[in-house]
Each structure stands twice: as C-alpha cells, then as structure tokens.
Amino acid sequence: MPLPIAHGLVGAIVVALGRPQGTLNRDWHVLLLGSVFAISPDFDFFLIQGLHFGRGLHRGFSHSILAAFIVTASMLAVLGISHLRNVLALGAAFLSHGLLDFLTTKRGGGVELLWPFLRERFKLGLIGFSEFPVGFSLKEVIKASLIELVVFVPILLAVLLIRELVFRSLNSKRKAQSNDSVKPTMI
C-alpha cells in the first residue's frame, strides 16, 4: 500500500515523461498537479470515513482504469483539445495510482482495476511495498515514507535532469538554426 509520498512522486514522474520538452521552471505547477492527481484515488477514504461507506469501497472504482478514463475525458471536455498533452499526462498520473497499488501489493487486498466489468481485486504480489501487516505505527509509517523517498526521488530527479538537458540541447540547436537563417548571404 504505497503512501501518498510514492504516489505523488510517481505522478510527477509520469507528467514529466509526458512533457519531454518541459523544464522545471516552466511546468512545476503541472508536475505538482500530477502529484495531486496521482494521490487522489485514495480520497475514497473520505467517502468511507465521512459518509460511512463500507471499507470495501477502498481500492474500488477510484482505482480502476475506467475512473482514469472518465477523469481524462472530463478534463478534455472542459479544457479542450488544445490542452491534450497536459490532459493525457494528468490522466496517466491518475491511472498510475491503481497500477502502482497493483504492482506493489503482496499481502493486502488488491485493486479493482477492471471495475465495473470485473469486481475481482488484482495484485501482482511480486513485492510488498509499504505494507503494514501488524497495523499502523508512527515508526513504521516514518520508515516506509523514508524508503519511498529513497526509491522515487532519485528517479524523479533523473527524469527532470534528462528533460533539462534535452531542452537545452534543442534550444541551442534552434538558436544556431535561427542565427544561420539571418546571416547575410555572401555573393
């Protein structure tokens, strides 16, 4: 059960990959939004706590591929096709939540990835990530949070660094091309 730290970092990584020519200076707010989108499927906890839905709701529809599709289609309807790249990146960040839970769940209940077509809960079970078999304790949560930071922060930094280098190299090529085009031709 990855914590919001892992989901948020993965969301930012997904958005950064979806905007390969972006730079942190120009699109930090989109990356931040990607983190929020990637965390948001766990907001089903609010429905369970606040509106007293059963605990079975957790990892249900909000973690499904269909929910990610609905979120993406709704954003596209509101923002329009001119924002397609950002909308797809944010939709992918939302989808990353259910997929990360699926990939990293060993002991806990799986994810209703194919809701409502299949109510089965899926989990890959290869590794158990941030799972708390004997209940939450502050010490365990801090330990899991630190592990998530150590695993995902370097990946995010590497992606951001590569993007920055790609941007600089494209920029210098563009500048060189525009300088060439304004040079007076010698006869």
- For the bound state, the minimum distance from the C-beta of residue 145 to Zn ion, rounded and expressed in Å, comes to 15
Contact region with Zn ion (CB under 5 A), list: 41-49, 81-89, 135-143, 170-178: 41-49
Binding test (CB under 5 A) with Zn ion, winner from 10, 14, 27, 42: 42
User: What span, in angstroms and rounded, lies between the C-alpha atoms of 154 and 144?
Assistant: 16
Binding test (CB under 5 A) with Zn ion, winner from 27, 101, 112, 148: 101
Burial of 134: CB neighbours in 10 Å, binned 0-12, 13-18, 19+: exposed
* Contacts of Zn ion in 145-184 (CB under 5 A): none
- Which is closer to Zn ion, CB of 42 or CB of 148? 42
- For the bound state, the minimum distance from the C-beta of residue 126 to Zn ion, rounded and expressed in Å, comes to 17
- For the bound state, the minimum distance from the C-beta of residue 38 to Zn ion, rounded and expressed in Å, comes to 10
Which CA distances in Å does 152 have to 9, 13, 131, 172, 182?
6, 9, 17, 31, 45
Count, residues near Zn ion per rule CB under 5 A: 2
Q: Find out whether 147 and 130 touch, Cβ atoms under 8 Å.
A: yes
- For the bound state, the minimum distance from the C-beta of residue 160 to Zn ion, rounded and expressed in Å, comes to 25
- Which is closer to Zn ion, CB of 20 or CB of 56? 56
Give DSSP secondary structure letters for 65-94.
HHHHHHHHHHHHHHH-GGGHHHHHHHHHHH
Tally Cβ neighbours within 10 Å of residue 184: 5
Does position 44 interact with Zn ion (CB under 5 A)? The reply is: no
- For the bound state, the minimum distance from the C-beta of residue 111 to Zn ion, rounded and expressed in Å, comes to 7
Contact positions vs Zn ion (CB under 5 A): 42, 101
